[in-house]
Amino acid sequence: MTIGRPTFKPMMAGAALAGALALVLSGCTPGNDGGEGESSATRTTTSEDTYSTTEVTDGKTTFVVVENPRDGATLSYGKDSGMSLIEEVDGDVTYAFKDMNGNGTLETWEDWRVPAVERAADLVPSLATEQIAGLMLFSSGENSPADGLSDNQREYLTNSHLRNVQNAGNSDVTANVTWVNQMQEFVETLASEETPYVPVNFASNPRSDATNQVAYSEAEAISQWPSSLGMAATFDPELVREFGEMSSQELRAIGITTLLGPQIDLASDPRWSRVYGTFGENTDLITEMTAAFVESYQTDPDSTGADEGWGTGSVNAMIKHFPGDGAGEGGRESHYDIGKYAVFPRGSFDEHLKPFLGALDSAAIMTSCSITLDGDGEPMFSTERGTAYVKDIIDILREEHGYDGVLVTD
C-alpha cells in the first residue's frame, strides 16, 4: 500500500534475481490473527509492548495499518485480501509480521527485522519458475490510473506473475494512490504457499522537467525543475542533490518506487536528439551530478536500523544507457533502427563509461540498444553485434566492477 509502507532497503546484492527481489521487496507491506509462540491473550500487555491495528481507507480500498512496538516496522495489508498476521514474542514484546505465503510460519523473508538482501535470498528458492519469469518483465505504459484496476492488469498480474508496472499516467495524487493500493491488495489475494507474495514495483520515467520535453511532465501536479542539461549548466551538484531529495519524496508519495533515470550518457555529439536529457559533455561534471542524483534519490535521512539510509522516501534510481548512448553514429538515436550503431573511436569508450562507474550504488542500470563498434566499424568486445545482452559488456559491470544490481533493457 502507498500509505504505511515499511522501510526495507532495496540493496542489490547476491544473485541478480535476489537483487531484483530486494528491489521489489522495498515496496512490500507485511500484515489479523494467527501466529506462533505464546498468545498475547495469556499475558499482561501494554500498548508499549505489543502491536496495534487500525483500519484506514483511501475511498476505494480499505486496509489495515499495523504499528509494531518500540520503533518496529509499520506494515499494511488489504482488509479483504485474505492476508493474516503472524505474532512473535521477543522477550516482553509481541511483534506482528505479514504471513505472505499463508502457512502460519514466520519465514526469514517475511521478517522485517532482517535486511532486505537476506530476505530476498531466502525467498528465491520458494519462487515458482513462472514467478521468476514474471519478475523479468515490465508492463507496457499504464496511462490511466484514474480508471482503477483493469481486467488486463489483473490478467498479467495473475497469469504472467508480472510485478514491474510502468506508471505512464499523470501525477494526480488521488488517482495514483487509489490505483496503487488496489493493485497491491489484488496481488496480496494471489499469495499462497506455492506462489509466495511479491509486491508490485511501480516505475516511471522522469516527471519534473519544466521544459515538458520529457513524457509525463505535469506542471500542475508535481514540482518543476530545469532539465538535466539545465542543471548541468549550473555546475552545482548540490542543486541536483536538493532536487533528488524533493523529487524522490514526491514520486514515492504517489506509489512510484523506481525511476527510469537519470540519463547519464556523455553528450559527445550535438546532433543527437537526446542531448537535452543528459548532464552535458563534461565527463567529470556528469560523474559528480550522477553521484549526487543517485544518492539523494535512494537515501531517506529519517531511516534507521539494519537498512539505514533507505526508507519510505527512497526511490530506486536506474542510470542509463550503459555503456553510453551518446556515441550514436552520426548523432542518430539508438532506440530506432537508423541509429543502431554506437561508435567509439580512439579510446573514447572509457570516457563514456566513467559516469556509470562512478554511480555503481545505483539500484538498477539500463543497458543500451546499440551495436557497439570501434573506430574501424568492428565489434569492440566479441563477434556479438549488440549491447543489451552481450556478455563481454555485462562482464564490465558484473565481473570487473562487482555490480550486482538489476540490469534492464528496452
Task: Choose between 1 and 202: higher pLDDT.
Answer: 202
Q: Are 269 and 328 in contact (CB under 8 A)?
A: yes
102: region left, alpha or beta (phi > 0 left; psi from -120 to 50 alpha): left
Average pLDDT of the chain?
86
Q: Determine what percent of the chain is predicted with pLDDT higher than 90.
A: 70
Of 158, 189, 220, at which residue does a domain stop? 189
Please check whether residues 154 and 262 belong to one and the same domain: no
Model pLDDT, residue 295: 95
Task: Choose between 35 and 145: higher pLDDT.
Answer: 145
92-112 tens-digit pLDDT: 999 999 999 999 999 999 999
Model pLDDT, residue 313: 80
Please check whether residues 110 and 177 belong to one and the same domain: yes
Q: Are 240 and 289 in contact (CB under 8 A)?
A: yes
Residue 283: inside a domain: yes
Choose the weakest-confidence range: 16-20, 208-212, 331-335.
16-20
Please check whether residues 270 and 122 belong to one and the same domain: no
Model pLDDT, residue 214: 57
14 has pLDDT over 50: no
Residue 387: inside a domain: yes
Please check whether residues 134 and 83 belong to one and the same domain: yes
Can you tell me the mean pLDDT for 293-307? 78
Band (pLDDT 50/70/90 cuts) for residue 19 is: low
Model pLDDT, residue 369: 86
Model pLDDT, residue 27: 45
- The CA-to-CA distance between both ends of the chain, in Å, stands at 28
Can you tell me the mean pLDDT for 264-287? 95
Task: Choose between 334 and 280: higher pLDDT.
Answer: 280
159-216 tens-digit pLDDT: 999 999 999 998 999 999 999 999 999 999 999 999 999 999 999 999 988 876 655 5
Model pLDDT, residue 362: 97
Residue 199: inside a domain: no
248-269 tens-digit pLDDT: 999 999 999 999 999 999 999 9
How far from the centroid of its chain's Cα atoms is residue 168's Cα? Answer: 15
Please check whether residues 146 and 273 belong to one and the same domain: no
Residue 200: inside a domain: no
Range of the domain at 160: 16-189
Of 164, 189, 214, at which residue does a domain stop? 189
Band (pLDDT 50/70/90 cuts) for residue 116 is: confident
Residue 348: inside a domain: yes
Cell numbers 537508423 label which residue? 338
Among 33, 80, 392, 410, the active-site one is 410
368-399 tens-digit pLDDT: 988 889 999 888 887 666 677 888 889 999 99
- For residues 128 and 108, what is the distance between their CA atoms, to the nearest angstrom? 18
**CA-based nearest residue to 197, from 36, 307, 81:** 81
For 200, the grid coordinates are: 508490485
Please check whether residues 224 and 313 belong to one and the same domain: yes
Residue 2: inside a domain: no
Please check whether residues 220 and 173 belong to one and the same domain: no
Please check whether residues 307 and 387 belong to one and the same domain: yes
219 has pLDDT over 50: no
What CATH number is attached to the domain comprising 270? 3.20.20.300
293 has pLDDT over 60: yes
The one-letter amino acid code at 164 reads: N
Choose the weakest-confidence range: 13-17, 96-100, 122-126, 282-286.
13-17
Model pLDDT, residue 202: 97
Domains in the chain: how many in total?
Answer: 2
Please check whether residues 268 and 180 belong to one and the same domain: no
> CA-based Rg of the chain, rounded to a whole angstrom?
22
- For residues 342 and 372, what is the distance between their CA atoms, to the nearest angstrom? 5
Burial of 391 (0-12, 13-18, 19+ CB in 10 A): exposed
Residue 356: inside a domain: yes
Band (pLDDT 50/70/90 cuts) for residue 6 is: very low
Please check whether residues 95 and 209 belong to one and the same domain: no
Is 374 a catalytic site residue? no
- For residues 291 and 350, what is the distance between their CA atoms, to the nearest angstrom? 18
Model pLDDT, residue 398: 96
The helix or strand, by DSSP H or E, that contains position 17, with its residue range, turns out to be helix 16-25
Please check whether residues 157 and 220 belong to one and the same domain: no
- For residues 201 and 138, what is the distance between their CA atoms, to the nearest angstrom? 10
Model pLDDT, residue 55: 97
Task: Choose between 335 and 19: higher pLDDT.
Answer: 335
